[in-house]
A and B are shown apart, each in its own frame.
Chain A
Amino acid sequence: MEKTVNQRAWFLVLPVFLIVAFSAILPLMTVVNYSVQDTFGNNQFFWNGVGWFKELLDPHTDLGERFLASVGRNLLFSAIILAIEVPLGIVVALSMPRQGWQVAACLVILALPLLIPWNVVGTIWQIFGRPDIGLLGYVLNRIGFNYNYVANDLDAWFTVIIMDVWHWTSLVALLCYAGLKSIPDAYYQAAQIDGASRWAVFKAIQLPKMNRVLLIAVLLRFMDSFMIYTEPFVVTGGGPGNSTTFVSIELVKIALGQFDLGKAAALSLVYNLIILIVCWIFYTVMTNAGADRPAKESVK
C-alpha cells in the first residue's frame, strides 16, 4: 500500500519539476555556459575556461578587487541587520497583545511593510530621508546632525540599514509570534508553579520553542539581505562613491553596464555559491542546536 502511494507521488510532483526546470535550471545552465566563454559582441563566443573565475577571486585584478570589496560590504550589511532585526523581532513578538481586536490590528500593521513593492520601499525612504522634503532628514538636521545620505558614506549606510529594519523586522516578529502562539498554556502554568522568573521562562520555554521559526527567519533574512538590490539602488544608487554598492548592484553594473557577460556570469555563480554555503552553515548549526535538546529532555 505504501509503495503504490509513493510511486504515484512521482507523477504528482512532475509539474513542479517541469516548471522549476523551465524557470530555474535552464537559465542557470545559460549562465554556466556564459561563465566559461568570452564574447566580443556579434554573438561570437570564445572558450575561456576558468579565466573569469581566476580573475574574480584574485584581489589584485580590477574585477577581483571590486567583487571582494562588495562581498565584504554585503557581509557587513547582513551581519548588522541580523544583529538588529532578530532581537528586535523577538521583543516585538513578545510584546504582542494577547487577545481582542488589538491582535488583528497589530498583525495587519506589522505585515504592511512586507507587502509594499520593494522599489516603493526605496522611494518611501528616499523621500523620508531627504533633508529638504523628508521628515527624517529634516528632523535630524534640525536637532543638529549633519545628515545627508547622498553625500555621506555613514549616513547612506544608516539610511539603508534603518530602511531594512523598517521593512523586514516584521517578518521576524511575525515568525516568532507564530512560534510563541504554539506553546501550550500548561508550560507556563508549570513554570509558574516552579516559581520560574520571567527570564527563565524565556530561556527555557519560549526560546527553544521558537528555535524552528528563528531558523527560517535567519535564513530568509540572510538570503534577502545578501541579495538586496532594489531598495539601496533606489535610495543611494550604490553611492556615495562605492560605499553602498552591494554584490547585486556590482553584478548589474558589470552585466548590463559594461555588457561583460562572461565576468557577470562567473560573478553570479560565485555569488550563488556563497549564499548556498552560508545558508547551509546556518542550517546545520541551528538544526544541530535544536537536535540535542529533545535528547536532554528525555534524560530528565
Chain B
Amino acid sequence: MSTIPGRRIIMVTFLFFLLLPIYWLVNMSFKTNNEIVTSMHLWPYQPTLANYRTIFTDESWYSGYINSLKYVIINTVISISVALPFFNLYSAINLFDTPWAVALAHCIFNVPLAVWILEGFVSSVPREIDETAFLDGYSFPRFFVKILIPLIASGIGVAAFFCFMFSWVELLLARTLTSVAAKPISATMTRTVSAAGVDWGLLAAAGVLTIIPGALVIWFVRNYIARGFALGRV
C-alpha cells in the first residue's frame, strides 16, 4: 500500500488528539472533587479510588451497567438471528421497563444494518459453492448450517460488533423506554448532577467504566474491523 510523506507524524498527532480527552477523563476519575475544582494538574496528586468505590458498592450505580449489558446482548442476538433469517421471532408481552423493550427498539437501526453487512459477506460467497452443495445432495438447511455459516463466520462477528456498538452508545431510546428497573448506565449517569452541583469525579469514573466494554470488544474483533467497516463489500 502506497502511503504519504510525513505519515508517521500525522498518525501520531491524530491518535494523540483522540486519546487526550479520554486521558483527561481517566485522570479526573482518580482525583477528589476538591482537587478537580481547585487545581489544574496533568495527573492526580492525591490519587483516590473513592469514585470507583462508590460505583461498585452502590446498587443503583452498578445495576445500570448490568442493565446496559443485558439489552445490548439481547439486541445483538436478535439482530443477528433475524438478519440471518434463522430463528423464530420471540414475541413478548408486557414490554415496558424490561431490557427487551430497549432491545427491540434498538432493532430499528440494527436489523437493517445487520442485513446490510451480512448481505455483503453472503454475496461474496461464490455461486458455485451453492451449486456444488446441491449436487452433493445437501438440503437447504444443511447447506446453510454446514457451509454458509462457516464461510461467513467473520461476517457474523463483524455484524455482532456493529450491533453491539450501536446499541451500546445509544441513550435516547433507552432513557425514554425505561423507568427504574431497567435503566441503563448511560441514563444513570445523569444522577451525578444534583442540587449541590456536579460530582465531577464520580461522573468521570462512570464515564471511564462505560469505555471499557467497548475497548474490550474492539480488541476481540480488531483483525476484522477494517473489513467490517466496509460492510463486507471490499
From A120, A166, A198, B211 is in contact (CB under 8 Å) with A120
From A14, A170, A179, B85 is in contact (CB under 8 Å) with A14
* Bound Cα distance from A177 to B203, whole angstroms: 34
* Chain A CB within 8 A of B125 CB: no
Closest residue of chain A to B23 (Cβ to Cβ) is A135
Closest residue of chain A to B42 (Cβ to Cβ) is A135
User: A13-B85, A188-B2 given. 4 additional CB < 8 A pairs?
Assistant: A12-B86, A24-B108, A91-B10, A118-B169
Tell me, rounded to whole Å, the shortest Cβ–Cβ distance linking A230 to chain B: 5
* Chain A CB within 8 A of B163 CB: no
From B25, B200, B215, B229, A174 is in contact (CB under 8 Å) with B229
Interface of B is mostly: helix
Inter-subunit contact B36/A133 (CB<8 Å): yes
* Chain A CB within 8 A of B132 CB: no
Q: 21 pairs across A/B with beta carbons < 8 Å?
A: A8-B140, A19-B89, A20-B107, A24-B108, A108-B218, A108-B219, A111-B225, A113-B22, A114-B165, A115-B215, A120-B189, A127-B24, A128-B24, A133-B36, A171-B229, A174-B226, A177-B226, A178-B228, A179-B230, A181-B234, A213-B229
Inter-subunit contact B172/A115 (CB<8 Å): no
Q: What chain B residues lie within 8 Å of A170 (beta carbons)?
A: 18
Please report the total number of B residues contacting A with Cβ < 8 Å.
76
* Chain B CB within 8 A of A97 CB: yes
Closest residue of chain A to B165 (Cβ to Cβ) is A115
From A8, A94, A108, A134, B4 is in contact (CB under 8 Å) with A94
Interface residues of B in 1-43 (CB under 8 A from A): 1-8, 10-11, 14-15, 17-22, 24-25, 28, 36-37, 40, 42
Q: What chain B residues lie within 8 Å of A91 (beta carbons)?
A: 4, 10
* Chain A CB within 8 A of B159 CB: no
Inter-subunit contact A109/B19 (CB<8 Å): yes
Interface residues of B in 169-208 (CB under 8 A from A): 169-172, 185-186, 189-190, 200, 203-204, 207
Known: A15-B85, A128-B21. A230 touches B226 (CB 8 A): no
* Bound Cα distance from A106 to B222, whole angstroms: 10
Inter-subunit contact B22/A94 (CB<8 Å): no
**0/1 per residue, A70-97, Cβ < 8 Å to B?**
0000000000000000001001101111
Known: A116-B210, A117-B171. A92 touches B104 (CB 8 A): no
Interface residues of A in 112-155 (CB under 8 A from B): 112-120, 123-125, 127-128, 132-136, 138
Closest residue of chain B to A92 (Cβ to Cβ) is B14
